Structure 1
Amino acid sequence: MNKHIGSDFDDFLSEQGLAEEVSAAALKRVIAWQIAETMKAQSVTKKALAERMHTSRTAIDRALDQDDAGMTLATLASAARALGQRVEVRLVPDREEIRA
């Protein structure tokens, strides 16, 4: 019998010791996507964003690469600021604590 039947994906990730890593990667992907969408909405090119951030277009390419696990939240926050936005990260109660 499969012990994961009836459990949810979060439980599986926790059991495998991957929950924090997956959560951080997902957060970075969402922020990178939001930056790209804001750039489209504001008609800001990668070159223009690089100039606003005083960096290279290559750095912008890396910031917008949703698969670049090495991209820091600080860099994404800097890109957001250059677009008149801010990144907000907050703590929320763990689902396990809510159940108790």
Structure 2
Amino acid sequence: MKLLTSVTLSAVLAFASTSALAEKPDFSKTAAAKASYDFSKNKAASGNQLVQSSSRHDFSKTAAASNEYQFPKNQPAHLYKVSLPSTQHDFSKTSSLKHGC
């Protein structure tokens, strides 16, 4: 059992270390990294192009668009009172300063 655990841990460490030590690509060496690169000359991507059905919403299909809809029966919006503090926060009294963080 100990041998199986040891082999398993060794295999996991081997796979983890190879991915951690893998060379990361340096994109600063690509042609597009040059200041003179002209992105407007790139070909347009093909495939996976989404087609927009419409850029405008049709409000004529909503319930409020009918002649029978009665706006006075709508529930009034709730008003919330926001109280803003009148003084600035004193950060010298925070718990992080007391603990020495």
Asked if TM exceeds 0.5, the reply is no
- The TM-score bracket by the shorter chain reads under 0.3
More helix as a share of residues: 1
If asked which structure has higher relative contact order (CA below 8 Å, sep 6+), I would say: 1
